[in-house]
Amino acid sequence: MLMQKEKLMKPSRRLQFLVLLVLVAVGTSGCRGFLGNTPLGRWFGRSPFGSRGPSGVESSVLPEPIRDKTAQEIPELKRIYFAFDSAELLEPAKTQLRQNAEWLKIHRNVHVQIEGHCDERGTVEYNYALGQKRADAARAFLISEGIAPSRLHTISYGAERPEDPSHNEMAWARNRRVQFLIYGE
């Protein structure tokens, strides 16, 4: 009887391993932001700097947005919009990106900040990642149209800069976008 009590009180190896695994997972879940662009930071989560986009094209995410006196959004480079929870370029977006690429081919000294945005639904982290995927998709498409990668810089604002602050389907559709800010020339 005494042996059975000791056996019940002593945790099994499997249980100890499971508890340790959970503690490690919980303890490292916040490491990405702290470790940033180090090997451990990349191991624990996608580093926000220098990631590969959906097409495998290297993305150059700027740590801070380009907001100087010469940076501006212009009517010639139109925004593109996305479906809910998607970074897939739909046909209207591809058509617009082709037009944007033609303008950029004529204006060869212009550099572009490609800003990815999301609607308010989803976590902050998820929306930043989705905004980055959207910006990367637009950048990859422009590169495939012959625009030099060195002219195209991406950044995600997640849901932090809504075009429409309302809380309805129409507003959310307007907020799921990529916009283009030029500088140079």
pLDDT at 24: 56
- Best CATH choice for the domain 80-184 from the list 3.40.50.620, 3.40.50.2300, 3.30.1330.60, 1.20.1250.20: 3.30.1330.60
pTM of the model: 0.65
Q: What confidence category does residue 27 fall into, taking pLDDT thresholds of 50, 70 and 90?
A: low
Q: What confidence category does residue 183 fall into, taking pLDDT thresholds of 50, 70 and 90?
A: confident
pLDDT at 44: 45
Q: What confidence category does residue 71 fall into, taking pLDDT thresholds of 50, 70 and 90?
A: confident
What b/e sequence results for 48-70 when a residue is b if at least 16 CB atoms lie within 10 Å of its CB, and e otherwise? beebebbeebebebeeeebeeee
What are the residue boundaries of the structural domains of the chain, listed by start?
A: 80-184
Q: Specify the range with the lowest mean pLDDT, choosing from 50-59, 85-94, 155-164.
A: 50-59
Q: What confidence category does residue 112 fall into, taking pLDDT thresholds of 50, 70 and 90?
A: very high
pLDDT at 52: 43
Q: Average pLDDT, stretch 102-129?
A: 97
Amino acid code (one letter) for 180: F
